Amino acid sequence: MTDGPCHRRHRVAVDVAIAVAFVVLDTGATLIGLSWWPDHPGALAWAMLGAQALACASLAFRRVAPLAVVGALGAFTLAVTLLNSPAGALAPATDTNVWAPYATMVAAYGPFFCRNDRRTAFLVLAAFTLVIMRPWEPSVTVMTNGLLRTAVGPLLALYFDARRRMVLALVERAERAERERHLLAEQARAEERARLAGEMHDVVTHRVSLMVLQAGALRVTAGDEATRQAAEELRAAGCQALEELRDLVGILRTAPEGDHTPSVAAFADLVAESVAVGTPTELIEDGDPALASPVVGRTAYRVLREALTNVRKHAPGARVTVRAQYEETRVRITVHNTAPTGSPRSALAATGSGLGIEHLRRRIDLVQGTLRAGPAPDGGFSVEATLPAYVPTPERVV
Residue-level pLDDT at 158: 74
Last residue of a domain, one of 234, 253, 272: 253
Single out the residue in 204, 228, 253 at which a domain terminates.
Answer: 253
Same domain, 268 and 248: no
Based on the fold, state whether residues 306 and 214 are members of the same structural domain: no
**Strand partners of residue 337:** 320, 381
- Confidence bin at 202 (pLDDT 50/70/90): low
In this predicted structure, the answer to whether residue 258 has a pLDDT above a threshold of 70 is no
Torsions phi, psi for 224 (to 5 deg): -120, 160
State pLDDT tens for residues 100-124: 888 888 888 777 766 666 777 778 8
- For residue 160, what are the CA distances in angstroms to 65, 109, 129? 19, 11, 21
343, part of any domain: yes
Would 394 be classed as within a structural domain?
Answer: no
Sheet holding 281-286, edge to edge: 281-286, 320-326, 330-337, 381-388, 370-375
Is the pLDDT higher at 160 or at 230?
Answer: 230
> Are the CB atoms for 300 and 323 separated by under 8 Å?
no
User: Which pLDDT belongs to residue 287?
Assistant: 92
Strands 381-388 and 330-337: antiparallel
In terms of pLDDT, which residue wins out, 155 or 297?
Answer: 297
The per-residue pLDDT of the chain, averaged, comes to 80
DSSP bridge partners of 13 = none
Q: For position 347, what pLDDT does the model report?
A: 40
b/e string for 78-96 if b means 16 or more Cβ within 10 A?
Answer: bbbbebbeeeeebebeeee
Is residue 91 domain-resident? yes
Same domain, yes or no: 17 and 79: yes
Give the span between the Cα atoms of 154 and 121, in whole angstroms: 9
Q: Which of 130, 100, 74, 79 is nearest to 22 (CA)?
A: 100
Confidence of residue 387 (pLDDT cuts 50, 70, 90): very high
- pLDDT exceeds cutoff 60 at 26: yes
Quick one: pLDDT band at residue 277, thresholds 50, 70, 90? confident
If pLDDT is split at 50, 70 and 90, which confidence band does 55 have?
very high
3-state secondary structure of 286: strand
> Where residue 364 sits, what CATH number does that domain have?
3.30.565.10
* H or E element in which residue 326 lies: strand 320-326
Domain range enclosing 324: 264-388
* Confidence grade of residue 252 (pLDDT, cut at 50, 70, 90): low
CA distance linking residue 201 with residue 246, whole number of Å: 8
The answer to whether residues 391 and 295 touch, using CB atoms and an 8 Å cutoff, is yes
Which amino acid makes up residue 213? Answer: L
60 against 395, higher pLDDT: 60
- Claim to verify: residue 277 and residue 383 sit in the same structural domain: yes
- Does some domain include residue 207? yes
For residues 133 and 11, state if they share a domain: yes
The answer to whether position 148 is within a domain reads no
Q: Taking Cα atoms as reference points, which of 373, 291, 298, 294 lies closest to residue 326?
A: 291
More confidently predicted of 44 and 220:
44
Whether residue 135 has a cis bond before it, omega within 30° of 0: no
At residue 10, the pLDDT reads 72
pLDDT number for residue 15: 87
**According to the model, what pLDDT value does residue 335 have?**
95
Sign of CA dihedral 25, 27, 32, 33: positive
H helix intervals, 266-395: 267-276, 294-314, 346-349, 356-366
Residues 32 and 99 in one domain: yes
Which residues contact residue 6 at a Cβ distance below 8 angstroms, ignoring those fewer than 6 apart? Answer: none
14-37 exposure pattern, b = at least 16 Cβ within 10 A, e = fewer: ebeebbeebbeebbeebeeeebbb
What is the C-alpha separation between 371 and 362, in angstroms, rounded?
9
User: Does residue 66 lie in a domain region?
Assistant: yes
Is 294 a residue whose pLDDT tops 60?
yes
- Are 292 and 358 found together in one domain? yes
Residue 25 is predicted with a pLDDT of: 92
- Where does the pLDDT of residue 370 fall: very low under 50, low under 70, confident under 90, or very high at 90 and above? very high
Number of domains in the chain: 3
Question: 37 and 93: one domain?
Answer: yes
Nearest alpha-carbon partner for 395 in 279, 299, 285: 299
CB 15 within 8 A of CB 339: no
CA angle 108, 109, 110 (to 5 degrees): 95
Determine the Cα angle at 123 with ends 117 and 128, to 5°.
Answer: 120
| C-beta separation of 35 from 101 below 8 A | yes
CA distance 242 to 204: 9
pLDDT of 46 above 90 = yes
Q: What percentage of the chain exceeds 70 in pLDDT?
A: 83
Q: Does residue 232 sit in the same domain as residue 290?
A: no
pLDDT band at 323 (very low <50, low <70, confident <90, very high): very high
Q: Do residues 291 and 248 share a domain?
A: no
Which residues touch 328 (CB under 8 Å, ≥6 apart)?
Answer: 2, 3, 291, 389
Residue 362: inside a domain, yes or no? yes
Among 292-306, 327-341, 371-385, the least confident range: 292-306
- Are 234 and 276 found together in one domain? no
Q: Is 148 exposed, middle or buried (0-12, 13-18, 19+ CB in 10 A)?
A: exposed
pLDDT class for 254, splitting at 50, 70, 90?
low
CA-closest candidate to residue 279, choices 324, 314, 321, 312:
312
Domain boundary among the residues 111, 138, 165 is at: 138
pLDDT at 107 (0 to 100): 85
Domain contains 237: yes
Q: Do 298 and 248 sit in the same domain of this protein?
A: no
Q: How confident is the model at residue 394 (pLDDT cuts 50, 70, 90)?
A: very low
Average pLDDT over residues 332-336: 95
SS3 (DSSP) at 175: helix
